[in-house]
Amino acid sequence: MSDQNAPTPPPGHQDLPQQPPYDQPGPYGQQPPYGQQAPNGQQVPYGQQAPYGHPQGVQYQQSGPQNGTEPPLTRDGDRLVGTFDHLLNIVAPAVGPLILWLVTRRRGPLADSEGREALNFGITAAIVYVGIGVISLLSLIGGPLALIVPLLYPLLWVAVVVYAILGAVQANKGLPYRYPVTFRFVS
């Protein structure tokens, strides 16, 4: 089909070679259409992606240990996990350190000890948060506690932030940290 409004080429002009239709294999260096195999079992050219499920695509080796155990953390990774164990108490007391400790406790000694310590501190802080909540419910009746209880939540949060940062700094140095007032639920 030709377009009637298209300009006519000047005499002696050579047309550029046209691309083959999409359903026909093209010249070397072009990827075959999606879902079709390259003609004559040719390899997909370098730098181009083979279609999904194509047998000639790159075969990746499974990395990591084959027996189902996690690889041990490096020394820096162990310190980093210990640092984050403490810092997670700021945003999610008890829950954040619990999740991180369960994932990394068998991968490094500092990750295990600091995760356990941060978890114990987070549980203690959560119990105190609940205790303040109960006291605030009782103070609704009235009395002198009604003036003091609203100040306890911010004070507890500041204490959690300060001790979590102190623990994170110690863990980042590779040293264990013990919170001063903590019930040891997980040992």
Q: Where are the domains of the chain?
A: 75-172
Read off the pLDDT of residues 76-98 as tens digits, 9 standing for 90 and up.
999 999 999 999 999 999 999 99
Assigned token pair, 184: 């040891």
Nearest alpha-carbon partner for 106 in 77, 73, 74, 64: 73
Provide the terminal-to-terminal Cα distance of the chain, rounded to the nearest Å.
Answer: 82
Question: What is the share, in percent, of the chain residues with pLDDT greater than 70?
Answer: 64
Average pLDDT over residues 17-35: 57
pLDDT above 80 for 19: no
User: How high is the pLDDT of residue 17?
Assistant: 55
**Which pTM was predicted?**
0.62
- Out of 44-48, 51-55, 70-74, which region has the weakest mean confidence (pLDDT)? 51-55
Whole-angstrom CA distances from 74 to 80, 112, 147 are 10, 14, 50
DSSP state string for 20-41 = PPTTS--STTSPPPTT-PPGGG
pLDDT tier at 59 (50, 70, 90 boundaries)? very low
Number of H helices, E strands in the chain: 4, 0
Q: What is the mean pLDDT of residues 57-84?
A: 73
Q: Which amino acid is at 19?
A: Q
Worst-scoring range by mean pLDDT, 143-147, 149-153, 163-167? 143-147
